Amino acid sequence: MGGTDASPPGVTKSSRDPETIRQGLEMWLASRLPDGARPTVTEIEVSSANGMSSDTFLFRAAWDEGGEQRDERLVARVRPDPADVPVHPEYDLPRQFEVIRLVGELTKLPVPQVLWLEQDGGPFGVPFFVMARIDGVVPPDVLPYPFGDNWLYDASVTDQRRLQDTTIAALAELHAIDDPADRFGFVGPFTEGDNALRRHVEYTRKWYEFAAADVGRSPLIERTFSWLKDNWPSDEGPTVLVWGDSRIGNVMYREFEPVGILDWEMARLGPRELDVTWLLYSHRIFDDLANDTGLPGMPGFLRRDDVVSTYESISGHTPRDIDFYCVYAAVQWSTVFLRTGLRSIHFGQQMMPDDADDLILNRCALERMLAGTYWS
């Protein structure tokens, strides 16, 4: 969602002008680099990567350093303009920067190398950070990869399984970080609740209230929160650092293995099942969309039982209460769709519906989950 949120075709993500961004980055680099660096910024472009949360700009920067010319391909992650209807109620760029830095330090996971953090706004008036660019391919959101005619859909079953298993292994490695509450206590969520899962759900409830303030109440989402309360796990298990937006659309791959794990704005402390079920349901939601248009989708990929059993075999932990966590993943996606729907309305790409639930693209799936008929 980051990241999290699949970008429907034609959705505008940002009103920022790339040329203004280029000039701003050039001036900002001049203030950051040693005297005489004379930086130039070229090839600025809005990232075509998945997701609609933060604004992401790809650029090339050259400067003098120690008598030699540096030429680097870089990425700037910029807090979105509030006027562009951001998906999340907050964007803590310093927190994201520190999460990526620490994960890179404590694991072998292929996170981007973070280079500079600007907390005071700099040329954009809002915080941003710069990181090194990674080369790889990402399963597309537009059109979603289960619709066909893309590198992942057309891959062999063996290669698809390699991508699936290596992604699950990355989650297991992330969740194995020792003392996560001490090392990542700054990520929160800082809401009411006597354990990490209750605080996580309460944060999502506040996120929904933020979305509903602009589009109206969602009876479906509110019914789902009641269902979660009534079906709460008896034992949430250990607390780990969860990536939060653990879908394959936030991973860059090479030879069907991760080479870049991106979009950490939803990283929080919580049960590992949050990531496991987000991974499998974030595929299922795209598969549902493909099926709704009469396409076969990818029913053999990221299957629920396969994801759970593979994670168990790699991590030694048996994921529990999968139905609960899948419903929770689905209601988070529903909240995303309230915000992305409002964004489409803001940019004149659709009309405001009478019923807020009509903005929820996974409405039917969530209703079936609550009825206990979805996975059958």
Instruction: Point out the residues that are catalytic.
Output: 245
d(Cα 319, Cα 275) in Å, to the nearest integer?
A: 10
Distance CA 340, CA 85 (A): 8
Q: Are residues 189 and 92 in contact, defined by beta-carbon separation less than 8 angstroms? A: no
**Burial status of residue 176 (CB atoms within 10 A of its CB: 0-12, 13-18, 19 or more):** middle
188/269 Cα distance (integer angstroms): 6
Q: Report the alpha-carbon distance of residue 98 to residue 103 in Å, rounded.
A: 8
Q: By three-state DSSP, how is residue 130 classified?
A: strand
Q: Following DSSP, what letter does each residue of 176-191 receive, concatenated?
A: T-SSHHHHSGGG---S
CA 112 to CA 101: how far, in whole Å?
8
- Structural tokens at position 272: 């590992």
Look at strands 40-46 and 55-65 and give their pairing.
antiparallel
The torsion angle over the Cα atoms of residues 259, 265, 270 and 274, rounded to 10 degrees, is -60
Cα-flanking dihedrals φ and ψ of residue 253, to 5°?
Answer: -120, 150
DSSP symbol at 135 = -
